[in-house]
Structure 1
Amino acid sequence: MAEAKKVNDPSRFTGVERTAIFLMVLGENSAAEILRHMGPKEVQKIGTAMASLERISRNDISYVLQEFLNLIHDQTSFGIGADDYVRRVLRQALGEDKAEGLIDRILLGRNSKGLEALKWLDPRAIAEMIRNEHPQIVAIVLSHLDPDQSAETLSYLPDRVQSDLILRIATLDGVQPAALQELDEVLERQLSGKNTAKSSMVGGIKMAANIMNLMDSSKEAIVMEGISQVDEGIATRIQELMFVFASLIDVDDRGLQTLMREISTDTLVVALKGAEEDLKDKVFRNMSKRAAEALRDDLDSKGPVRLSDVEAAQKEILAVARRLAESGEIVLGGKGGETML
């Protein structure tokens, strides 16, 4: 297995960890002010990084600050080239996908506050709030949430509407400003807030696939079957973009090694009980001979495992894989071709 970066190598830090270090250097008040402008997922990710950082040396701090200075060194005066600067800083700090959401809101005016406020709510509460709305409205709301939050919210809605909602999300290209503003105002009234929304582009095949990736496996097949009955072409396109456990076969060796360092042996053993032989072989090849033999022994000695446990372990590994992909540490290659998730 490839060696991890040395402890005294500042470049070992991910973009999120560098952001956490930078905010900690700024101090509580400044850091709090910056975090106030971020979404819940970004705050949670950076907060987790802050809590887990250890052995931070003066050299590490100097590296992070110098990197920041290098980033702004070539910038002109304020207001000139600011858009490009914001894009680069956010993408480096939070990863491509997470940054795009903030870029939309900051640069393009896509700041639907009523919808954004939902990201701080529990998925069950969101489901209760929208369950009696028109399906198209529900699809718009789900498209605005992060995929994991959408998947959990969808699980609390009636089974009979789940396929229809995913299909609507997949075929949703955008929302007219007036319609979005009306929806935002309704949500603001329910959440006791104010509205400044203008417009937003939401939905699409990729969003539908991301939500499907994070749904419970027992419901995933049912929903896909329902979509296939309505529009087989869209169902196929969604499946092509979905990154499932079997898709780990397409991750390069270094990426797979990075992923396995983040996973417990117990979780890996359970997940591999339901894996194809070619994926198992790839995992073994990316371990030391001794570790591979130990893993084989664990698999052979492991008794029957419930399908639900296998699926849960695979979902856990996929969640780690997406986290690593978002931070730029690995690249995920799914059926639809190599892509950053």
Structure 2
Amino acid sequence: MAAAIAQGQGQRLLRGPERVAALLLAMGKPLAGRLLKHFDVDELKQITRSVADLGVVPSPTLEALVEAFAAQFARGVDLLGSPAEVEQMLDGVLPPEQIADVMSDVTGASNEAVWERLSNAPESVLSAYLAKEHPQTAALVLSRVAPACAAKAMGLFPRDLRNEVARRLLGVSPVSEGALRLVQAQLQEDLLSNVSRQSGSEHNVRVANIINKMERDQMEDVMQALATARPKAAETLRGLMFTFDDIVKLQPKARSVLFDKIPTELVVLALKGTDAGFRDAILSSLATRARRIVDSELASGGPALQRDVLKARRMIADTALELSNSGEIELASAEDEDELYE
């Protein structure tokens, strides 16, 4: 069998003990129990750690795994591995003291895994989730995740909530293991499982952002190649991409927020070579004083090198993407448009 189950559309990559963990969960306790008796303690710890950290296994992945083992499994729903599943699976199979030994190892590894996975979740998702919780709960969670993740998530809070959580962070005291497990279980159910389900779309966003930062001719060449090889994927990516040309599609309020962040000299440079309609749309988004300065510079200024113009446009488009990722503006769907100038 291949070293890993191939990752296809709607599938998740499983390796080593994760494959065993998924199959054991799919088999159910009676059959899994019979198989577990043939593993030694070290192997059980490795497998049960994988069960505890498994999270969501989409049905397509499970089906591919089953086919690889040539087993007669019916099509199933997604699986969700957790420490509770580990303990239930071992109950009646191993002596209580051996279960306690295994679970002690599993719980410690699982606890660390929850906070590590949470630290790698999108900060906007974590922030939106914690904003609905009690500030003390938010402070507890943020005290456990990576500092960089906590800082970005707090930065997205409303000002009053951010300051309240900061005060509570100073007073976070040790929490009982039982209470901490309850918090972790809720985070796993409410947040991490959803993040796993959305990983495909998150991956598309990352790919779109990578392509979006290429030079325009490289970008178009890559997209044309993708359109030939994987047309549906290319269409999805096209809808997630955003360029300077797409700024006129933003709502007026979003354009105003964007250009409040952009220096006037960068706006002047980016507008070189644009047509009157595009230029008017951008000028209408500027504050009165900035609009007068830009208009005057465009009327009296000399020509600029194309590479400098394109660099300025890229910087403005990147700023728009950053503001969108932080939730400050919403981007309209980008459509494939021709260059505004040769």
Same fold (TM over 0.5): no
TM-score normalised to the size of structure 1? 0.43
Which one has more relative contact order, counting CA pairs under 8 Å at least 6 apart? Answer: 1
User: Which structure has the larger Rg over C-alpha atoms?
Assistant: 2
TM-score after normalising by structure 2: 0.43
